[in-house]
Amino acid sequence: MIAEDAWGKRWSNCAHPLSHEFMRVATEKESLVVLAADEPSVGDILRLIESVGDSVCALKTHVDMVQGFNTEDWSMVVDSARSKNMLLFEDRKFADIGKVTKTQMGGLYDIRSWADLVTSHSISGPDIVDGIAAGWEDVERIGGVLLLAQMSSSNNLLDEGYTDETIRIGSASPHVVGYIGNGSSASDLKSLRSKVGEGKMIWSPGVSLDASEGSLGQRYGNPADAVLAGSDAVIVGSGIYRSEDPSASAKRYAAASWGALLER
């Protein structure tokens, strides 16, 4: 199948090149899964990429949870993900003023040099997106921002007015590839999709095929329901890396998400 047929309106309306890159990879792998590789050891992340990389489209990292971080080890993660044709997505959740955020794209982790996508809060206003983009510009790379329009955690403070303002910021910026939507609630996702329209992606954490609740306030919904409600990627962490057979588990999530896209 070609990406344009699988994605329909989303393909023709999303302008950011990375949205097309994602849709192409997803179509090739028949999977809408983004792996949340929440392991604090580079060795564990590398093993995970090796075992599930063929059925996931992007590697979502929290680079600041890696113990004993160093650039050399990290470059192995980057190379391994690239060799498996995965996008690199740092879930940094930037939240500062624009000029500080630009600096934070560099620094110890040098996110700007390897990440294709990053997450950002919208709490500090629209300039944060320009700060992130300026970080990529400094190293002559193109990246995309996913703004947190919703979250999956219980009792979070992102109310509907906040979501609406976040979409307003996102619509006005060519650097915003899309939004994070709450994967634990199909109704939240439907409402978000109706406000966002076809021109941006929605990626959803808080999905599981087995659990309805995670630890410390995480909530889960069914990944196929999330896609049917309008989500374009399901972000899966413990459902894959904590399972006894991560490779088989990743394939289950891939099949559920891809099947739902075709149904949609």
Q: Does 118 bind ligand 5BU (CB under 6 A)?
A: no
Near ligand 5BU in 11-30, by CB under 6 A = none
Q: Give whichever of 153 and 173 is closer to ligand 5BU, judged by the CB atom.
A: 153
Choosing from 9, 93, 102, 251, the catalytic residue is 93
Report d(CA 121, CA 209) in Å as an integer.
Answer: 28
Contact 14, 4 (CB under 8 A): no
Are 149 and 176 within 8 A, CB to CB? Answer: no
In this chain, which stretch among 77-85, 135-143, 167-175, 236-244 interacts with ligand 5BU, using CB under 6 A? 236-244
Nearer to ligand 5BU, 178 or 237 (CB): 237
Would you say 36 or 133 has its CB closer to ligand 5BU?
A: 36
Whether 130 and 123 have beta carbons less than 8 Å apart is answered as no
Q: How many other C-beta atoms are found inside a 10 Å radius of the C-beta of residue 141?
A: 13
Establish whether 93 is a catalytic residue.
yes
- For residue 70, count other CB atoms closer than 10 A to its CB: 10
Rg (CA), the chain: 17
Q: Which of 152, 166, 222, 257 is the binder for ligand 5BU (CB under 6 A)?
A: 152
Among 45, 234, 235, 261, binds ligand 5BU (CB under 6 A): 235
Structure tokens at 119: 């997450």
CB 33 within 8 A of CB 254: yes
Q: How far is CA 187 from CA 66, 75, 183, 192, in A?
A: 35, 40, 10, 8
Shortest Cβ distance from residue 204 to ligand 5BU (Å)? 9
**Taking CB under 6 A as the rule, does residue 38 contact ligand 5BU?**
yes
Contacts of ligand 5BU in 158-217 (CB under 6 A) = 180, 205-206, 214
Among 51, 124, 153, 173, which residue sits at the site for ligand 5BU (rule: CB under 6 A)? 153
- 10 Å Cβ neighbour count for 209? 17
Residues 52-81 close enough to bind ligand 5BU by CB under 6 A: none
Active-site residue set? 93
* Residues at the contact surface with ligand 5BU, assessed by CB under 6 A: 36, 38, 91, 119, 148, 151-153, 180, 205-206, 214, 218, 235-239
